[in-house]
Amino acid sequence: MLHFVLNDRELKTTTNPATTLLDFIRYDANLRGTKIGCREGDCGACTVLLGSVENGEIRYENCTSCLTPLANAHGRHVVTIEGLNMSELNKAQEAMVSCSGTQCGFCTPGFVVSLCGYTLNPDTSLSRTAKDAVDGNICRCTGYKSIERAAGQLQEDLDNLGEAITLDALIDKKFIPAYFREIPHLLDQIESEVFIHRGKQPVGGGTDLYVQKQDEMPFMEVVFPFKYQNGTRIWKEGSRCHMAPLCTASDMMKAPFLKESIPNWYEYMKLVSSNPIRNTGTVAGNLVNASPIGDLTAILLALNAEITLKDTADRERSIPLNSFYLDYKKLSKTPEELITRTSFEIPGPGKFNFEKVCKRKYLDIASVNAAALLEENEGVIIRASFSVGGVSPIPLYLRKTSEYVQGRELSESTIMEAAEILQSEISPISDARGSADYKRLLATQLFKAHFLNMFPSQIKMSELI
Ligand SMILES: Cc1cc2nc3c(=O)[nH]c(=O)nc-3n(C[C@H](O)[C@H](O)[C@H](O)COP(=O)(O)OP(=O)(O)OC[C@H]3O[C@@H](n4cnc5c(N)ncnc54)[C@H](O)[C@@H]3O)c2cc1C
Ligand code: FES
Ligand code: FES
């Protein structure tokens, strides 16, 4: 039995947990403000908020309900556009109206939901603005400038609240309806559940599975192994970062200790999908999906991550991620095994770099991506670890290139020689993301970019041409 709060209503349902949240909202709950656009996570017309209590505080995140299994609503507050309406316009709606941010109106509920979600969790520590919050919403009419202005106006309204952006302040100033006050108490009453794996297709956030198998999912034997798991999803223990199975890309993006040790962390993670997808797509899902261009996979390969797998008899084993990929979508894992932990040694400042080239900068999958972990001491590279995606049937750890570089002088000639070895390790094919030759060129250029970005005073670009 699934148990959650939909807007201001507590709900229990026996509806198939593999149904999409979108279909439940529109056809079971009869709330038609949430729109259907692409059903692939790209347009944001179906955006809703998911609120969960973490460490005693409620946190709201926007998500694409077209890719979210109903099961993932368990224990949470699902907020649709109807749940944000009041007797007068809320602040986000007011901003959209006064800045002419809406024309046909099809995308508007999604934009308003994302903007309201931002007001609930502005994340000032990440220097995000309201504009960043709508990176997963597409509008075909307005040309965006008016929506940008609306986001700017909302940001001003929020800034005027001063330091204390409390739930009470947001309610008093008409950002959100008053019933939000009752939600933490309602969620507290819901039993958390840790579902036992029964050897069926596991579902994390569903952002890969519901794109690949949208029609089959409701009829498949699926299991939500960690459907609703209280507790921290990402944490630091000594010098290592650990991630639970439901750790999302957003959890990684927001981890303060990663931002601290990798100064460009926020910019790197912004290159991964969009807010709503990062909020639901899990790290484990990215690794098991085994896409050769998976961004989190490329990042974690270079960071020499280790994964822990557990089978149905609760037997555990840990392996380096770089031995997980055997062939195209073939993994060193039985179908019964689940990833229960991913961990890596946190690099020091200036030791990690990530590069991604796509047809457009944001909300696009990579033509080629690449990550590097490098450490230098007195002109010698004492640690080197490289990954590259999009140039092989598997997400590629560049074993020979890494071995070659480690222990050598930090110089342009080392980089040029290593780039030759890199070329021998890759086998790109021509496809919609570029020709094989173009990807070969990109792989080399991104490899050089690691050094230029990490050692700008020691490596000269003119010597790498
Ligand atoms: C619009 C859009 C944009 C995207 N952009 C990017 C992008 O820029 N970069 C990028 O890398 N990816 C991108 N993705 C892909 C996707 O969001 C990620 O791969 C995400 O991390 C997948 O996680 P998930 O939890 O949603 O996976 P799911 O769809 O739930 O699962 C994927 C696979 O992992 C398995 N699985 C899930 N959890 C476990 C577990 N704990 N143990 C064992 N198996 C498990 C499932 O059985 C399934 O085979 C995008 C997707 C969409 C829809
Ligand atoms: S319908 Fe387009 S993102 Fe869901
Ligand atoms: S107003 Fe028409 S799609 Fe945005």
Give, as one character, the DSSP assignment of residue 434: B
- Is pTM beyond 0.75 here? yes
- Dihedral sign, Cα of residue 290, residue 291, residue 294, residue 300: positive
| 52: CB partners within 8 A, 6+ apart | 58, 59, 75, 76, 77, 187
For 58, phi then psi, to 5°, come to: -90, 135
On the CB side of 35, CA atoms within 13 Å amount to: 19
Classify strands 77-79 and 2-6 as parallel, antiparallel or unpaired. Answer: parallel
- d(C-alpha 185, C-alpha 198), whole Å: 32
Angle between helices 436-454 and 412-425 (to 10 degrees): 150
pLDDT reported for residue 187: 92
In the chain, the amino acid numbered 205 is: G
- Tell how far the Cα of 90 is from the centroid of ligand 1, in angstroms: 34
Ligand nearest to the CA of 35: 2
- Tell how far the Cα of 29 is from the centroid of ligand 2, in angstroms: 18
On the CB side of 50, CA atoms within 13 Å amount to: 29
Residue 350's alpha-carbon distances to 97, 376, 446, 463, in angstroms, are 45, 10, 17, 22
Q: What is the largest CA-CA distance in the chain?
A: 69
pLDDT reported for residue 229: 53
Residue of the CA atom closest to atom 2 of ligand 3:
104
> pLDDT averaged over consecutive 10-residue blocks of the chain (465 residues)?
94 91 98 98 97 87 96 93 96 97 97 96 76 94 94 95 86 96 92 57 92 89 62 91 94 95 95 96 97 98 97 93 97 93 95 94 90 97 98 98 98 98 98 96 98 96 91
- d(C-alpha 18, C-alpha 24), whole Å: 10
- Tell how far the Cα of 104 is from the centroid of ligand 3, in angstroms: 5
SS3 content of the chain, % helix, strand, coil (to 5): 35, 20, 40
Residue 126's alpha-carbon distances to 89, 132, 241, 265, 269, in angstroms, are 28, 11, 19, 10, 11
Tally of CB atoms within 10 A around 120: 20
Written as six digits, the tokens of 385 are: 């670890």
Q: Give the per-residue SS3 of 77-117.
A: EEECHHHHCCCCCCHHHHHHHHCCCCCCCCCHHHHHHHHHH
Written as six digits, the tokens of 195 are: 């579902």
Tally of CB atoms within 10 A around 368: 28
Ligand nearest to the CA of 250: 1
- Tell how far the Cα of 108 is from the centroid of ligand 3, in angstroms: 7
pLDDT reported for residue 198: 46
Summarize pLDDT for 166-215 with one digit per residue, the tens: 899 999 999 999 999 999 999 988 877 655 444 478 899 999 999 999 89
- Strands annotated E in 282-327: 306-310, 316-320, 325-327
- Tell how far the Cα of 279 is from the centroid of ligand 1, in angstroms: 11
**Does residue 140's CB lie within 6 angstroms of at least one atom of ligand 3?**
yes
What residues flank ligand 1, with Cβ below 6 Å? 40-42, 67, 201-209, 211, 245, 272-273, 277, 281-282, 284-286, 288-289, 294-296, 338-339, 365
**Does residue 137's CB lie within 6 angstroms of at least one atom of ligand 3?**
no
Q: Tell me the domains of the chain and their CATH numbers.
A: 2-188 (3.10.20.30), 232-465 (3.30.465.10)
